[in-house]
Copies of this chain bind each other. A is one copy, B any other.
């Protein structure tokens, strides 16, 4: 097929971002080396960009920018307050997963002309309260008109060069960990769908299993939080010996597992690359009630864990020597390890081993 007939939906979000990285070399009028004033550590690809600024020799400037569009990012049940709040959370989460301290937040917002001022105020209050909570002042931005709500946020921070939490750099035998419960936001989205098309029988059934879990899942879907403090703890422990690598789980665990492997492969200097990941189902933090509710909804609970994101938990690897020391500092779960086998696999509770596919959620796909 000729390039001229291909639509962007055939590539999807991640391939398009790869394409932008390629274009930044191929369609540049200068050679990339002409950007001599600032040295960019990782231009695009990690959770946030790290930029070497002449201001200071010890810190990187860290920046992250994310756009959210009502029809694809906000469930119908989400309030204006929650939309504003989430626009800060997604960006702070990217900074947290680099171990960065927050500096400032820029808010670009587009809203329909007939939006009620009260709703606008509520959205802004969501932004402000999230900025307060994560100690990141709102420093700028603009407002525009569109036919649906669009929020584009940019978070700026800084991190010690020696301590920045990259996606790459783990070694065979390192432990694979998550900072908290996965799958709850995913379950929440499913429950919200059910609310929109109610089925009384199913609703009664799942309520009888665990109504607290239901409320919690919906809350996680509508008002997620960034794992800011845990990001800072991991950063403080990130010495050469401990070699911590970190990313935040936004597109589903499976997709992030492939992300960290790809990132590590890119930074690998030798010819052959033989690292892989093994997850143990038995290690996944999951309550029986969670599995039961998923079953009533006709879902495989592992799908909720692996293929839908939005939990904003951190996925990280540590040298196994660090295990106990880190447990004294924060709660986390060890769910697997880095192997010397170039696959991403899960050891199921029944003993069988299955490959994990990379499909997480991608826009435009």
Q: Which residues of A78-127 have CB atoms within 8 Å of chain B's CB atoms?
A: 101, 103-104, 106-111, 113-118, 120-121, 124-125
* Interface secondary structure of A, over-half rule: mixed
A141 lies within 8 A of chain B by Cβ: yes
Binds B, one of A59-67, A221-229, A272-280, A295-303: A59-67
Given known contacts A37-B135, A67-B142, A140-B64, A49 and B120 CB-to-CB distance under 8 angstroms: no
Report yes or no: A144 in contact with B364, Cβ–Cβ below 8 A.
yes
In this complex, the member of A13, A48, A108, A143 whose beta carbon has the largest number of chain B beta carbons within 10 angstroms is: A143
Number of copies of this kind of chain in the complex:
2
**Chain B residue with minimal CB distance to A73?**
B144
In this complex, the member of A37, A66, A146 whose beta carbon has the largest number of chain B beta carbons within 10 angstroms is: A146
Beyond the given pairs A63-B156, A69-B144, 13 more chain A to chain B contacts, judged by CB atoms under 8 angstroms and listed by A's residue number, are: A4-B117, A7-B117, A8-B117, A20-B107, A23-B125, A27-B129, A53-B158, A61-B103, A67-B142, A67-B152, A144-B364, A150-B152, A154-B154
Report yes or no: A7 in contact with B113, Cβ–Cβ below 8 A.
yes
Report yes or no: A5 in contact with B106, Cβ–Cβ below 8 A.
no
Given known contacts A140-B44, A146-B69, A103 and B38 CB-to-CB distance under 8 angstroms: yes
In the assembled complex, 17 residue pairs joining A and B whose CB atoms fall closer than 8 Å, in A order, are: A8-B120, A19-B124, A29-B133, A44-B140, A51-B104, A51-B156, A53-B55, A53-B158, A55-B56, A64-B140, A65-B106, A65-B141, A65-B152, A67-B109, A67-B144, A145-B364, A156-B156
Report yes or no: B129 in contact with A29, Cβ–Cβ below 8 A.
yes
**Chain B residue with minimal CB distance to A48?**
B140
Residue in contact with A132 in the complex, picked from B29, B114, B156, CB distance below 8 Å: B29
Assembly CA distance A34 to B129 (angstroms): 13
Report yes or no: B7 in contact with A116, Cβ–Cβ below 8 A.
yes
Assembly CA distance A317 to B143 (angstroms): 27
- Residue interface bits A145-161, CB-to-B below 8 A is 1, else 0: 11110101010101000
Report yes or no: B6 in contact with A124, Cβ–Cβ below 8 A.
no
Report yes or no: B67 in contact with A16, Cβ–Cβ below 8 A.
no
Report yes or no: A108 in contact with B67, Cβ–Cβ below 8 A.
yes
List residues of chain B with CB within 8 A of the CB of A199.
none
**Chain B residue with minimal CB distance to A54?**
B158
Given known contacts A69-B146, A144-B69, A132 and B28 CB-to-CB distance under 8 angstroms: yes
Q: Which residues of A292-334 have CB atoms within 8 Å of chain B's CB atoms?
A: none
Given known contacts A44-B139, A53-B55, A144-B364, A104 and B63 CB-to-CB distance under 8 angstroms: yes
Report yes or no: B35 in contact with A135, Cβ–Cβ below 8 A.
yes
Report yes or no: A67 in contact with B28, Cβ–Cβ below 8 A.
no
Q: Contact residues of A with B, CB < 8 Å?
A: 3-11, 13, 16-17, 19-20, 23-24, 27-30, 34-35, 37-38, 40, 43-44, 48-49, 51, 53-56, 59, 61, 63-69, 71-72, 101, 103-104, 106-111, 113-118, 120-121, 124-125, 128-129, 131-133, 135, 137-148, 150, 152, 154, 156, 158, 363-364
Given known contacts A55-B56, A146-B69, A141 and B23 CB-to-CB distance under 8 angstroms: no
List residues of chain B with CB within 8 A of the CB of A17.
142-143
Report yes or no: A117 in contact with B66, Cβ–Cβ below 8 A.
no
Report yes or no: A140 in contact with B6, Cβ–Cβ below 8 A.
no
